[in-house]
């Protein structure tokens, strides 16, 4: 009897943590191998509150570069048929997808606009609770000079935001200032309405990732669109990021 009790207890010590891990909400990260996505991926792996599924067009290449500890899934936002399997069991979506402009299939109209529309439709089909997308602080500006060298990238980022909103999926739209690879957590994180964004402001990719992940579950971040940049104060912890008071879009 004593031996049987010991075996049952031993089994519980193994299975209970495993079950607890499976109960954590699952985040699908689209664009997981990109400059922004890879930073978000690292932070999600370190976050005890979530499980993460990283979506990529090429699982073999992603595994070789980032390792096999991540749950990789094949998916392409420009191909809707690939998104259903990737979305299975997902609670939250982060889109760090961005056009590369390497070939027409990777132009902003295909990746930013049509890709966002496809991903949002797939998210709606499984009842995703929040879709957080990284766009730009100047999304939608027709006369922005980046349009000339980026196949109207700023225009299509604005249209992508409109497509996400029209989908009916709860959303948060994060418009970062100019991006740097400097360490995060050094300077304060400032969230302001798009109308208050000033050209020349910057933010680290790491701090942007912190904002994106915090927005997944914060009720004050629901259906908001804003600019994010680094200020001059000391680093801001995720729990201290201020979403309240920001305008809806």
Of 95, 136, 139, 229, the catalytic one is 136
Tell me whether residue 7 is exposed, middle or buried, using C-beta atoms within 10 angstroms of its C-beta: 0 to 12, 13 to 18, 19 or more. Answer: exposed
Burial code of 62-79, b = ≥16 C-beta within 10 A, e = fewer? Answer: beeebeeebebbebbbbe
Report residue 147 as tokens.
């349009």
CA of residue 129 relative to chain centroid, distance:
13
Shortest CA distance to 97 belongs to which of 52, 38, 137, 141?
Answer: 38
Terminal CA-to-CA distance of the chain, rounded, Å? 64
The answer to whether the CB of 25 falls within 8 A of the CB of 50 is yes
CA-based angle 35:40:45, to the nearest 5? 130
DSSP characters for 127-138? T-SEEEEE--TT
Annotated catalytic, 137? Answer: no
The residues annotated as belonging to the active site are 136
């Amino acid at each position: 009897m004593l031996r049987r009790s010991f075996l049952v207890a031993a089994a519980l010590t193994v299975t209970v943590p495993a079950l607890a891990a499976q109960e954590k909400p699952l985040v699908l990260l689209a664009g997981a191998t990109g400059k922004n996505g890879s930073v978000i991926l690292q932070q999600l792996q370190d976050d005890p509150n979530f499980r993460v599924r990283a979506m990529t067009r090429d699982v073999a290449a992603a595994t070789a570069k980032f390792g096999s500890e991540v749950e990789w899934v094949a998916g392409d936002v420009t191909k809707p048929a690939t998104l259903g399997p990737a979305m299975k069991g997902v609670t939250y979506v982060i889109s760090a997808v961005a056009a590369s402009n390497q070939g027409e299939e990777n132009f902003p109209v295909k990746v930013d606009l049509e890709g966002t529309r496809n991903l949002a439709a797939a998210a709606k089909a499984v009842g995703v609770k929040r879709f957080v997308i990284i766009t730009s602080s100047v999304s939608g500006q027709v006369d922005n000079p980046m349009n000339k060298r980026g196949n109207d990238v700023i225009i299509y980022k604005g249209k992508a935001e409109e497509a996400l909103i029209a989908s009916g999926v709860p959303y948060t739209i994060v418009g970062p200032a100019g991006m740097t690879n400097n360490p995060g957590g050094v300077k304060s994180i400032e969230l302001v309405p798009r109308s208050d964004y000033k050209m020349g402001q910057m933010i680290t990719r790491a701090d942007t990732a912190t904002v994106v992940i915090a927005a997944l579950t914060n009720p004050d971040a629901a259906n908001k669109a804003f600019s994010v940049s680094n200020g001059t104060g000391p680093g801001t912890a995720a729990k201290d990021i201020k979403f309240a008071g920001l305008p809806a879009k």
